Structure 1
Amino acid sequence: MTLPVEILLGLYLGLLTGIVPAFVAGSLGFLVRYFTGVTLPGFGVVVLALSIASVQGGLLGLVQPDIAQSPRLLVAVLVVLMLALYAHNQGDKLGAELPRRLSLTSIRQRTLSADVVELVGTMGQVTVRPTGEIRDMEGYPPLTPALRTTLKSGSWRLPADIPLTELESRLEERLRTDHDLADVDVTIDEQARATIVAAPPSGGLSRRVPEGQRAVSLVTLVPTGLARGDAVAVRTEDRSISGTVLSARTDLDATDDERATGEPTADGEAAPLEDGEAAADAEPTAKPTAATAGGVGRVTVAVSPRAITPLLETDQPQLVVQSRGTSQEFEAFALVRRAGHVIRRLTVGSTDEETVPATDVTILAVRRQGSETSGRRHGWVFGPGIERALEAGDEVFVAGPESATEAFAEAVAR
């Protein structure tokens, strides 16, 4: 036969016998790179491909004396090797790019649709609104009509550059804080519509009392601006007792409308109602950050159990607010700013070492997700000795010069 015919026959035989070696080489390249992070050597791929091709050629009856002595065999071997090396290269690349932890949790890391994101300056924000009815949570009493209406008509502005699971967690935390809910579960879709399942407040005061302490109510002169969480000292005739304010209310805080409608005072006790039916329909509203206007009033303080008797026996307790000093968090931020650095909170979108620049940026803390918590975030892991490398979806605090921090933010957000 002529040389062109031999070459064509060699190409045909190479394609016929090279499919199986190429599939095996590609699969092995992917598996080795995905599970070990190591690239399979090319020499091993060549030996493996030739071995499989020779066995396959023998089974197909292609290894014959006249074929072995013709140029078509050389062409067929070259085709088999090229197919195997190409398949191995593609499998190795796929093993390097595919996420190591592929689970239902990671698949659910959806983001918001672009048409619901609002740009405020350089930051994207989204307004989340409820959809459908506010459902009652199983195992809890039903929501009151007023609270159900408040939740259904509410809207909440949240950052738009975080995954939906983080949006759900933040909205749940805000609903618990704003409405003092016993429990709440939120699901948000790509159009920023929230499905809310909630449980009404229960045992508001008892849940605020620290473990091992007791709540005691006192009638005394209340300093102006006193609010829940303030550290105070209650002075009696012979001793001073430290405690934490759980609630405070004075005569100047209560308006005529509150006394008529029966809305709760700051210590959780409603004013007298003239109508018994109105008392049943009254809706408690949480005022966690309300400060008193000062004057004579009632204060509920969390103290140790052995301090209860001295407080109840005293006739004229005196309330003194203790100083907490300067916030160490603000001092730390001031020192960072004074050094010419900035602190930014970022969500990692890319962890490719080739795209992340080697800058002077320091990773201060990382918050990651885990399958054992159904996609919920773990607590913050503080550095600088972060144990694991950054992964897509991680939330990080970074510090460094402004230009370097901006470059790092652009790189990891790709």
Structure 2
Amino acid sequence: MTLPVEILLGLYLGLLTGIVPAFVAGSLGFLVRYFTGVTLPGFGVVVLALSIASVQGGLLGLVEPDIAQSPRLLVAVLVVLMLALYAHNQGDKLGAELPRRLSLTSIRQRTLSADVVELVGTMGQVTVRPTGEIRDLEGYPPLSSELRTSLKAGSWRLPADIPLSELEVRLEERLRTDHDLADVDVTIDEQARATIVAAPPSGGLSRRVPEGQRAVSLATLVPTGLARGDTVAIQSGDRTINGTVLSARTERDVADADAAADAEPATNGSAGTDDGERDTEPEPPTRPAGASAGGVGRVTVAVARRAVASLLEADQPRLVVHSRGTSQEFEAFGLIRRAGYVVRRLTVGTAGTDDGPVTTADVTVLAVRRQGSETSGRQHGWVFGPGIERALEAGDEVFVAGPESAVETFSEAVAR
């Protein structure tokens, strides 16, 4: 046969017999580098590949006198060696780059890069901003241009000492609350850049009515500062009906909105006064955003179904706002701070448990959430102290309280 034909046959035979030696060389190179950190010598790879190729060639009936004495054998051997060396190099590289301790827990608990964390007092915070376009959620109507622009220009400050998965959940909850989104999905990377996929609000009022209740609109005197979510008592004659405010709008609210709309073009177009001085900054609002200015208007409340008829028949209903009281959680944190203590959430590292449990009289473990082998690495719920019976283990999440210096020492000891 001519030389080009022999070369083509050699390439074919090399590819046919080189697949198995390449797979073995790549797998062996990866395993040796991953578990021992040592690179398998190239000479050993060559000997191994030729041995496997010769056995495979004998089984395939390729070792014949006419083949052994033809140029195609040399070409086939070169192809087998190149495939084996290439596969070994890739396996060795993969074994060097793959983390030694890779678990679903560590992937789920990815944290932010230290470059984007801002220290505010003793707490770390991060400003999350959207990246790319705000995409529409499949199965829902498209977002309006105003809502898309508002989400694109938004930024949100969140605590930086929690995993990215928890940051994503918190940002989704905030977006649902701030923009009444029907659904939203957020992905945050290590640089605090958020990819947002959202669905526009649907059925705004009906979505806010609790199940089993009805929405009723009343014309009455609205207290100043009344906002959605406030609990009120509606007094009509000798009967009092409790409800939750869904919306409130008065004549002053309408006037304020019109005045703000009229002033916006002038504000955006003004550059300064005649004498070169800039206009003064607008005064901050005197009430929270979304709160009513008060006065005569209409308020929509969610009440029990049996109370709807009574409210519709009322002539002059009056509203009394109920106090929500002080959250016990905030009271507890206030007492801790007044005592000069700080509260931190930590994750116990492997080095923190090598020398046995780390204890200090100045630091109190408030709660522990741990994972165990009996649950295949799944985390249990929070166990609140101080009655924690067994020592901390690697992977445990803990809330601790104590003086700041003692907590910092404890954090350095267990979080390594």
For 1:49, the equivalent position in structure 2 comes to none
The answer to whether the Cα contact below 8 Å between 2:128 and 2:155 also exists between their aligned partners in 1 is yes
Give 3-state SS (helix, strand or coil) of 2:165's partner.
Answer: helix
Distance 2:206 2:349 in 1: 45
- Offset, 1:236: 0.9
Q: Flag the 1:149–1:388 CA change in 2: closer, same or farther, 3 A.
A: farther
Whole-angstrom CA distance in 2 between matches of 1:105 and 1:128: 23
Q: Deviations over 1:364-399 (max 9, x none)?
A: 3346799xxxx9999755444568865666554323
Structure 2 letter corresponding to 1:297: G
Scaled by the length of structure 1, what TM-score is found? 0.59
Q: What residue number does 1:54 align with?
A: none
Secondary structure, aligned partner of 2:253: coil
Letter in 2 for 1:234: I
For 2:380 and 2:205, locate their aligned partners in 1 and report how far apart those are by CA, in whole Å.
28
Q: Partner letter of residue 201 of structure 2?
A: P
C-alpha displacement of 1:176 = 1.6
Corresponding residue of 2:173: 173
Q: How many angstroms does 1:122 deviate by?
A: 4.6
Structure 2 CA distance for aligned equivalents of residues 291 and 393 of structure 1: 44
Aligned to 1:158: 158
Give the SS at the match of 1:194. strand
1:242 aligns with 2:249: no
Residues 6-85 of structure 1 mapped to structure 2, 5 A cutoff = none
What letter is aligned with 1:109? Q
In 2, Cα distance between equivalents of 1:255 and 1:224: 15
Structure 1 residue 116: Cα displacement: 3.3
Aligned length: 286
Separation in 2, partners of 1:337, 1:260: 41
- Which one-letter code corresponds to 2:225 in the other structure? G
| Structure 2 CA distance for partners of 1:290 and 1:168, relative to 1, 3 Å | same
Point out where structure 2 has 5 or more consecutive residues left out of the alignment: 1-34, 36-99, 262-286
Gaps of 5+ in 1: 1-29, 31-97, 262-286
Question: 119-128 or 388-397, which moves further after superposition?
Answer: 388-397
Q: Could you say what secondary structure the match of 2:217 adopts? A: strand
Q: TM-score, normalised by structure 2?
A: 0.59
| 8 Å Cα contact 1:228-1:288 kept in structure 2 | no
The 5-angstrom pairing of residues 332-411 of structure 1 reads 332-337=332-337, 340=339, 342-350=341-349, 352-353=352-353, 354=355, 357-360=358-361, 361-366=363-368, 382-385=384-387, 395-411=397-413
Question: What secondary structure sits across from 1:405 in the alignment?
Answer: helix
- Does the Cα contact within 8 Å between 2:225 and 2:291 map onto a contact in 1? yes
1:29-48 per-residue CA deviation (whole Å, 9 max, x = no partner) reads: x9xxxxxxxxxxxxxxxxxx
Identity %: 78
1:229 aligns with 2:226: no
Checking the alignment, whether the CA contact within 8 Å between 1:226 and 1:291 is kept in structure 2 is yes
* Aligned equivalents of 1:294, 1:303: Cα separation in 2: 21
Alignment of 1:284-295 (within 5 A): 290-295=290-295
Indicate conservation of the 8 Å contact 1:215/1:300, yes or no.
yes
Once the two structures are superposed, the pairs formed by residues 113-262 of structure 1 within 5 Å of their partners are 113-255=113-255, 257-258=257-258
Shift, 1:227, TM fit? 1.8
SS at match of 2:177: helix
> Residues 203, 346 of structure 1: CA spacing in aligned structure 2 closer, same or farther, 3 A cutoff?
same
Deviation per CA, 1:136-160, whole angstroms, max 9, x where unpaired? Answer: 1112111111111221222223333
Change (3 A) 1:194 1:108: same
SS in 2 for 1:329: helix
Question: What amino acid sits opposite 2:314 in the alignment?
Answer: T
| Contact 1:166/1:376, CA 8 A, preserved across alignment | no
User: Partner of 2:401: helix, strand, or coil?
Assistant: strand
When structure 1 is superposed on structure 2, of 162-171 and 145-154 the one drifting more is 162-171
Q: Does 1:307 align with 2:304?
A: no
Change (3 A) 1:154 1:395: farther
Corresponding residue of 1:61: none
**Aligned-residue RMSD, C-alpha:** 3.6
Code of the aligned partner of 1:324: R
Q: Which amino acid aligns with 1:346?
A: R
